[in-house]
Structures are given as C-alpha cells and as structure tokens.
Amino acid sequence: MSNRILITGGAGYVGSNLVPLLRDRCIVYDNLLYTNDYFEDVEFVRADINDCKTLEKYLKKVDTVVWLAAIVGDAACNVNPRKALDTNVEAVRFLAENFDGKIVFLSSCSAYGVSSEIATEESPLNPQSLYAETKIEGEKCLRGKNAYVLRLGTLHGPSKRMRFDLVVNVLTMHAIVNKRIEVFGGHQYRPLLSVKDISAFICRLIDEKLPTGVYNVASENLSILEVGEKVKKIIPDIEMEIIGTQFEDKRNYRVDSSRAEKILTFTPHHLVDDSISEISELIKSGRIKSTFEFKYANLASLSNSEDYKNYGK
C-alpha cells in the first residue's frame, strides 16, 4: 500500500476518476492537452509524455506506473499521425526500456476491429484505424514486462474531464439537450465499460499481486441501436432516428472478458443504464454550461489546437 505511483495522462477522462482514489500516493504527469488548469491536490508535473528527460526523472521516483497518456480515438489520431505515433508508441517504448516496476497500460478493444465472433485475448487482431494500430504496437513494447495490458471496451459515464464523443455519453447528451438522438446503422456492436469501474479496477491491480498479461475488460456487449433504445427508455419523450446510410466507423466487435473476471476477479458495478441516468441528471442540474464546447470532444479539441496540428512540422 505504500508504493508510489506515477499516473501519466492523469488529468484526462479516466485519470480524473482515478486520481482522487490514489491522492496521497500518486504523481500526476500530464501536458494539459484538453484543459488550461488542474487543481487536484496532488503532486503534479506539467510535461509532455515525449519529454524523455523529464519522464525518466519521475520514473525513478515510483514503483508503479499507470499509463493513461494517449491520443485516444480514430479521428483524433488522424489529426496529426506523427504525434499519435510518438505518444502512443514511442513514449511507451521509452517506458518499457527505462522502467522495471509494475505497469498498468490501457489498450483498446478497437484492436479487434471487425469480427463476427466474440473476441478473446487469443483472437486475431484486425485494426481498422491508426489508433488501433498504435495501441497494438504499444502492447508489443511491453511484452516481457511486469505489465497489465488492459484492452478496454468503449468507456462511458461522468468524469471531471467530461467527454461527449463516446457513444453512451453523446447519445445521452443529445437526448437531454435536443430531445432527439440519431443512430447511424445501429447494428454494429461495442463492448462497453464504466469509467468508474476501470478506475476502481486499476486501484486493485496496483495493490494486489495478480498475474500480469493481456486482458479484455468490458461489462456489456451492446449494439449502438441497443444503446439508443436504453437512452430512449430512461429519458422519455425523445425522438430516435435510425439512419441507414453507412457510417465511416466500420468497427463491429464483441469481447469476452471472462479471463479478467476469473483471474483478476474483475466485477463491473456500473452499467450503461447507470451512466445514462447519471449524465442525464448532471446536465439537467445545470452543472455543465455548454455541452458542445471543444474540450468535451477529443477530435474537436485537437482540430482546434494549432500547437497540436503543427507538432513535428
């Protein structure tokens, strides 16, 4: 319980849920890509993950690294592929070469891409985007290390660094704000996971001695249409339109998380219905002034950042 923890990307969507659970034990390392400030009462380092000199300094101070830092999302990676590769692959390679403690690394079930079968950790990888490719390469960098590689389902739920570009969150937001949601296609499946559940799970992995390796981590496999139907059931008097035109996101996959459940005793406590209700109440209470600000969506934030777009040029 006394080990020190470095949380890279600690100001992000997952980090904003995780850091308060580890407040007295962690150092947050983040470049504040999506915000101008950070007020959590923890030791904080404002630096880019590709600043190897600074990163190495803090790797020497800790026993465990929780690696949340990443350019997340297919479209977000396409804004500046060079930065996506440097962040999602080269920085992970540096970590692997310069740190021998415990690592918790967040990968993505996007690695499975399109699959008619329910994917296990042994299923063929079929990346459909640069983002998925970088996550697979990041995993390769950590082979042979004392690392938990967690292939996460699509996250959902409220966070201090809120995101309205995730399927459950964005459909719920539109249901409240516009009284209308649009479902593109709808039959494509996604594994889904609460941001609260992954945060609690990471805490357990830090403190318990459990077998490392690659694990799928998700609580539900739902089609986009099923998510829309849940939103419509929980938030009454809204219109749902199913748009049959092909959407550019071709991913369609379900995953089996039984390995994490059996070996790591992963147990989800917050399902999609819970997040829909929580986000609904959050917006209706007036706690978010404008849900359409750039900072709530990775692609919009990065597309409007000249420093980010010009990185490497």
25-52 tens-digit pLDDT: 999 999 999 999 999 999 999 999 999 9
How far is residue 54's CA from residue 69's CA, in Å, rounded to a whole number?
15
156-187 per-position pLDDT tens digit: 999 999 999 999 999 999 999 999 999 988 88
Domains of the chain: 5-309 (3.40.50.720)
User: CA 2 to CA 291: how far, in whole Å?
Assistant: 39
The stretch 195-199 carries a mean pLDDT of 98
CB 42 within 8 A of CB 5: no
**Is residue 119's pLDDT more than 80?**
yes
Confidence of residue 2 (pLDDT cuts 50, 70, 90): low
In DSSP terms, 30 is beta-bridged to 46
Element (H, E) at 64: strand 64-67
Torsion region of 158: left, alpha or beta (phi above 0 gives left; psi -120 to 50 gives alpha): beta
Cβ–Cβ under 8 Å, residues 112 and 123 = yes
Q: What is the pLDDT of residues 265-288, one digit of tens each?
A: 999 999 999 999 999 999 999 999
250 pLDDT above the threshold of 90: no
Please state, in angstroms and rounded to a whole number, the distance separating the CA atoms of residues 102 and 111.
23
Instruction: Round to whole Å and give the CA distance between 41 and 25.
Output: 11
pLDDT at 156 (0 to 100): 98
The pLDDT of residue 243 is above 90: no
